[in-house]
Amino acid sequence: MADLLDHLRLAALPPEAEAFRTEVKDFLAREMPPAGADIRARSWLAFDGEFSRKLGARGWVGVTLPKRYGGAELDAYRRFVLMEELLAVGAPVGAHWIADRQSGPLILKFGSERQKEKYLGGICRGEIFFGIGMSEPNSGSDLASVGTRAVRTDQGWRLTGRKIWTTNGHKCNYVIALVRTSGSAADRHAGLSQFIVDLNLPGVTVRPIVDMTGDAHFSEMFFDDVELDDDALIGNEGDGWKQVNAELAFERSGPERIYSSIVLLDAWLNWLRRTGRAQQHVEALGRFATHLATLRQLSIAVTAKLAAGESPVVEAALVKDIGTEFEQATPAFIEAAAGADPSAPPDDELLRTLAYVSHMAPTFSLRGGTREILRGMIARGLGLR
Amino acid sequence: MFAEAIEAIITEQCPPATVRAIESGASAQPLAAAFLDAGFHELLVPEAQGGGGASWREFFDVVALCGAHAVPLPIAQTFAARAFVRDSRTLPAGLITLAPSLRGEAEGPLEASHVPFARVSSHVLATRGDALLLLAVADAHQTPSGIHGSLAASLRWEAGAGQEVPGSVTGDRFHALAALLHAGLLAGAMKRAFDLTMAYANERSQFGRTIGKFQAIQHQLAVMAEQVAVGRMAAQAAFAVDQGLPGTAACAVAKARTSEAAQGVASIAHAVHGAIGITEEYDLQLSTRRLHEWRLAHGSEAYWHRRVGQMFIDSDAALAADFGRSIFQT
């Protein structure tokens, strides 16, 4: 029954992973594009093809992918260290983030040899970028209800439908789309497949969606009779549900579920130090550090399972839910603190950083599975469903 | 290894009925003898000095067990005391508890307020300056708080009471480690409260189904599981030292995180149980009363957050992530 809790075992990063950290810090000291906290707070939504290529040249994109496909063949622990360091400073990793985190690993796990040869090298060089083709206007949490369809043709498949909320879709080369290839929505998990869709194909229209911060990181996609090769199908026809769940496990298991507000926290602390106010917030700072340190240990426990070749679906959901709570509590608290003295408000850069994170904070517990869905998954993991 | 043996003693000798009896004033001696006669006192003393040579990493399971079963004796404290003194032979054979504070002028009366387990201990180990003081409970005037079922009491000794004992863990280190023990107890108690709550949700039926089938209950249990998981992780990570003693920062984070989580865990446990949960007869109260008491013991999160915060402010770590990473040695 409570096996789930026993699965989150204390684990430590191995010494090699720690040694790797210094290399990453050195790289960032040299190559990190200078940017204010408000820009860096965009974190892994910020698209910088140049930075992704530099990271790729260093061998740090697709780090867990095999060397024969261009990866560095590092373990999950070293990936964790790399991710931590990139997120801690708000490096603009958005261009390659999805490909590195889930698209590449998905292709490695379910793709044909030809697909691995075709895509993984470019992913690892930080040259080709992938988006997630899951959500649709009428299919968010109920992902199995997707209506985008692919029907067989002589050359391969014809794709018709829409996707939405694809991060940086308008700047990506490909999406991996979950579509229905047989049956109907009433068949639920059966009859779904995944396709690698080249966004340059005729019939594909991608439009950015402007958000309330003025950014346009989201996008929507229209597929109007897009002709796909046979080759575009990844894995087996009809295995889409199983595959997309494996992809979601990759999506949910990383340390970005605790570090989304870390640039804001650092910006606030730096302001407090500069203006001699840090002591006033000693308890809040201690609470942030306490939560951060402990959440990190939970994230490492999930990483240990990835390193052991497991798919820690429910454990990742648990850590993501409690992690995003911390990520959201950070701007909530800092916003109150920032208004504690109307005669001495924080500087504009801190206010912009705070505003950005406050405005985007609701998405922390929407993306990659809403809070309500994750809690349902945890409940199932506890044997309640 | 030690944990299994101690668990056997606990399950055999310390069922809920025994906990209730001792809380109601029955003698703790038979239960104490079961632990002490098993010869575990020296668990944490290095093998070279004739002890069990257990690491604090291994000790966590023992402490969590004591918390889970609401063992009404300062077992963890008695074992830890032997790691705090330079020579464990300077300590008497009985149960020893740790004082969260000690007030008094030199040559004057001494007061230790709200000492956990005072009512079932023969001695109190306290720190004064950078020394350790061993005080006999029998020599003290005891004032229980009056909290129903609590084993804590405030103790007052006349001038000249107690004897100094050479210690290796004194002052602030003593307080941090004493707090860590309670973090371990909290972790165990939270898990027990969670297990009881899960069992209840799967048994209790209303509206033609078990209440655990309702989404509202499922989500509360998911949140409860998260709090139990994070509390346990904080405590276990702090204990996870193979040589020597856990660091103060780790102790602080462990006590803060378990104390904060305890509030939510107790709250959800009772919400799911309904009225039966607050009765004396039902076992949940054995755990949740402890969650509240142990949250306060040796400093709640209010205290330990300030301690961690001060370390954070004083740290020369460039980033919050760097400071966060420095806390646990694991």
Q: Which residues contact B132 (CB under 8 A, 6 or more apart)?
A: B84, B85, B125, B126, B164, B165, B166, B167, B169, B170, B174
| pTM of structure | 0.96
Contact B226 A281 (CB under 8 A): no
Closest Cβ–Cβ partner in A88, A284, A374 for B321: A88
- The answer to whether residue A114 scores a pLDDT higher than 60 is yes
Which residue in B212, B230, B310 is closest to A298 by CB distance?
A: B230
CA distance, residue B90 to nearest chain A CA (Å): 35
A74 pLDDT exceeds 70? yes
Q: Running DSSP on this structure, what letter comes out for residue A230?
A: G
A276 contact residues in B (CB cutoff 8 A): none
Indicate whether A2 pLDDT > 60: no
* Reported ipTM: 0.96
Give the model's pLDDT for residue A312.
87
Q: Which residues of A touch B228 (CB under 8 A)?
A: 5
Closest Cβ–Cβ partner in A1, A10, A286 for B306:
A286
Residues in B touching A259 (Cβ below 8 Å): 321
pLDDT value of residue B127? 97
Binding-face residues of A in 297-326 toward B, CB within 8 A: 297-298, 301, 318, 321-322
Q: How far is B312 from chain A (nearest CA, A)?
A: 7
Amino acid type, B92: P
- A-chain residues near B198 (CB < 8 A): 1-2, 382, 384
Q: Which of A286, A374, A385 sits opposite B305 (nearest CB)?
A: A286
Contacts of A374 in chain B (CB under 8 A): 222
**pLDDT confidence bin for B330, thresholds 50/70/90:** low
Among B312, B316, B322, B329, the strongest candidate for a mutation testing the A interface, having the largest count of A CBs within 10 A, is: B312
- pLDDT over 90 (residue A223): yes
Compare CB distances from A297 to B302, B311, B328 and report the shortest one's residue.
Answer: B328
Task: Note whether A375 contacts B: Cβ–Cβ < 8 A.
Answer: yes
Taking the Cβ of residue A385 and every Cβ of chain B, the question of whether any pair is shorter than 8 Å is answered with yes
Task: Please tell me the distance from the alpha carbon of residue A146 to that of residue A162, in angstroms, as a whole number.
Answer: 9
CA A284 to chain centre: 28
Distance CA A64, CA A75 (A): 6
Which of A115, A187, A116 has its CA nearest to residue A149? A187
Give mean pLDDT, residues B248-263: 98
* Confidence at B105, pLDDT banded by 50, 70, 90: confident
- The C-alpha of A286 sits at a distance from chain B's nearest C-alpha, in angstroms, of 3
Does the pLDDT of residue A263 top 50, yes or no? yes
At residue B102, the pLDDT reads 97
Q: What is the mean pLDDT of residues B79-96?
A: 94
Dist CA B51 CA B144 (whole Å):
35
DSSP A302-358: HHHHHHTT---HHHHHHHHHHHHHHHHHHHHHHHHHHTS-TTSPPPHHHHHHHHHHH
pLDDT at site B39:
84
Over residues A52-70, mean pLDDT:
96
DSSP state of B144: E
| Residue-averaged pLDDT of chain B | 96
pLDDT in the model for residue B41: 85
Neighbours of B192 (CB within 10 A): 26
pLDDT in tens, B160-202: 899 999 999 999 999 999 999 999 999 999 999 999 999 999 9
The reply to whether A203 touches chain B by the CB within 8 Å rule is: no
Residues 6+ apart with CB under 8 A from B184: B59, B60, B63, B64, B66, B67, B76, B235, B239, B254
pLDDT above 90 for A171: yes
Binned at pLDDT 50, 70 and 90, residue A377 comes out as: very high
3-state secondary structure of A220: strand
Contact A10 B237 (CB under 8 A): yes
**CB within 8 Å: A5 and B312:** no
Per-residue buried b or exposed e for B127-145, using 16+ beta carbons within 10 Å of the residue's own CB = bbeeebbbbbbeebeeeee
Residue A6 sits at the chain B interface (C-beta within 8 Å): no
DSSP-assigned beta bridge partners for residue B123: B96, B136
**pLDDT value of residue A1:** 41
Of the candidates B195, B218, B310, the beta carbon closest to that of A376 is on: B218
Buried-state track B270-282, b at ≥16 Cβ within 10 A, e below 16: bebbeeebeeeee
Whether residue B78 is predicted with pLDDT greater than 60 in this model: the reply is yes
Query: What mean pLDDT comes out for the span A261-280?
Result: 97
Q: What chain B residue is nearest to A278 in terms of C-alpha separation?
A: B313
* pLDDT class of A187 with cuts at 50, 70, 90: very high
**Per-residue pLDDT tens digits for B111-169:** 999 999 999 999 999 999 889 999 999 999 999 999 999 999 999 999 989 999 999 99
Q: Which of B170, B218, B176, B169 minimizes the C-alpha distance to B197?
A: B218
